[in-house]
């Protein structure tokens, strides 16, 4: 395995707040990694730094052997990083099908439509293809976001709280979808507060506290780590 994504001493300050404060972490090719930590520990900021939605104050982001620090979001996505948002943002007045035609993929019109149907079937959304996106349930909106990301054939997908607002039955389906897509070689970095989802899904977990990585390992390993307990209890 080789390193697909690396952050080196990554930092982001907002005024006096050190949101990301010297983060060193990596995702290997094809890995399925969880990113956890208390509220405000810098998880979403990290995703924004990796995807170019924010520019770091210092440090580097290396993706697939290339320094992508400070690149624009579209430059990062064309290199193979897809992401979803903590709050889903589909184009509400467009249909599910139309939402999937939006990403700027390199195929022609016909291939693009074929690819849309493939992705819709893969995620069991074909039956709602003609529905307006704002009529979907919370969980289906999350699936639609994942579908949009898959249109770009990413090497790495960053998910910000895929389980938030999703009913447990649909979450089981989403977990199965992520595992299946991962089996075909797509790496994932999943930010999530629901530990049952992290336990079920992730081969390895990275734990952040106050903008840094404080522990990494399997779910069992990090759960047994004193530094992780301290982080969640707000201790030093
Ligand atoms: N645009 C911003 N301007 C100012 N402060 C910000 C901004 N974005 C994030 N922060 C601050 O940076 C810190 C890290 O926030 P971030 O959203 O990355 O945390 P998080 O780990 O994703 O939390 P949660 O689990 O609640 O989603 C917090 O103190 C937050 O208030
Ligand atoms: Mg967040």
Nearest atom of ligand 1 to the alpha carbon of 38: 25
Query: Is residue 194 assigned to a domain?
Result: yes
Tell me the C-alpha distance between 35 and 37, whole Å.
7
Instruction: Tell me if 205 sits within 8 A of 227, measured CB to CB.
Output: no
Per-residue pLDDT at 189: 98
Alpha carbon dihedral 99, 103, 105, 107, in 10-degree steps, equals 20
Instruction: Tell me if 56 sits within 8 A of 62, measured CB to CB.
Output: no
Query: Is residue 27 assigned to a domain?
Result: yes
Alpha carbon dihedral 222, 226, 229, 230, in 10-degree steps, equals -130
The answer to pTM > 0.75 is: yes
Nearest atom of ligand 1 to the alpha carbon of 46: 18
Q: Whose CA is nearest to atom 4 of ligand 1?
A: 14
44 Cβ closer than 6 Å to some ligand 1 atom: yes
Query: Is residue 58 assigned to a domain?
Result: yes
pLDDT class of 110 with cuts at 50, 70, 90: confident
For residue 159, what are the domain limits? 3-91+152-233
Q: Whose CA is nearest to atom 3 of ligand 1?
A: 14
Per-residue pLDDT at 111: 84
Q: What is the mean pLDDT of the segment spanning 74-96?
A: 90
Look at strands 3-14 and 17-28 and give their pairing.
Answer: antiparallel
Query: Is residue 200 assigned to a domain?
Result: yes
Q: Residue 54: give its domain's CATH number.
A: 3.40.50.300
Query: Is residue 142 assigned to a domain?
Result: no
Q: What is the mean pLDDT of the segment spanning 210-219?
A: 96
pLDDT class of 236 with cuts at 50, 70, 90: very low
pLDDT in tens, 5-46: 999 999 999 999 999 999 999 999 999 999 999 999 999 999
pLDDT class of 151 with cuts at 50, 70, 90: very high
**Dihedral (CA of 23, 24, 29, 34) sign:** negative
| Beta-bridge mates of residue 34 | 190, 205
Query: Is residue 103 assigned to a domain?
Result: no
Q: What is the mean pLDDT of the segment spanning 122-130?
A: 95
Q: How many domains is the chain partitioned into structurally?
A: 1
Per-residue pLDDT at 235: 47
pLDDT class of 1 with cuts at 50, 70, 90: low
Given a cut of 50, whether residue 179 has pLDDT beyond it is yes
19 Cβ closer than 6 Å to some ligand 1 atom: yes
Q: Whose CA is nearest to atom 2 of ligand 1?
A: 14
Per-residue pLDDT at 103: 67
pLDDT in tens, 61-70: 999 999 999 9
Measured in Å, residue 192 CA sits from the centre of ligand 2 at 9
Query: Is residue 109 assigned to a domain?
Result: no
Per cent of the chain over pLDDT 90 is: 82
Query: Is residue 178 assigned to a domain?
Result: yes
């Amino acid at each position: 395995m080789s390193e697909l994504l690396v952050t080196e001493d990554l930092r982001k300050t907002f005024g006096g707040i050190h949101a990301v404060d010297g983060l060193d972490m990596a995702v290997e090719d094809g890995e399925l990694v969880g990113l956890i930590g208390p509220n405000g520990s810098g998880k979403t900021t990290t995703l924004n730094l990796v995807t170019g939605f924010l520019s770091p104050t210092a440090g580097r982001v290396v993706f697939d052997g290339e320094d992508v620090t400070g690149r624009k979001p579209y430059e990062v996505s064309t290199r193979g990083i897809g992401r979803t948002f903590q709050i889903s943002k589909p184009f509400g007045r467009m249909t599910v099908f139309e939402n999937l035609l939006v990403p700027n993929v390199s195929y022609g019109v016909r291939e693009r439509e074929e690819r849309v149907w493939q992705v819709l079937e893969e995620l069991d959304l074909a039956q709602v293809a003609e529905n307006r996106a704002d009529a979907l349930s919370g969980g289906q909106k999350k699936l639609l976001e994942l579908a949009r990301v898959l249109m770009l054939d990413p090497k790495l997908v960053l998910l910000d709280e895929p389980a938030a607002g999703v009913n447990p039955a649909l979450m089981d389906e989403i977990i199965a979808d992520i595992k299946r897509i991962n089996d075909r070689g797509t790496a994932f970095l999943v930010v999530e507060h629901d530990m049952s989802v992290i336990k079920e899904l992730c081969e390895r977990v990275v734990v952040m506290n106050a903008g840094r990585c404080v522990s990494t390992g399997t779910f069992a390993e990090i759960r047994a780590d004193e530094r992780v307990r301290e982080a969640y209890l707000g201790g030093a």
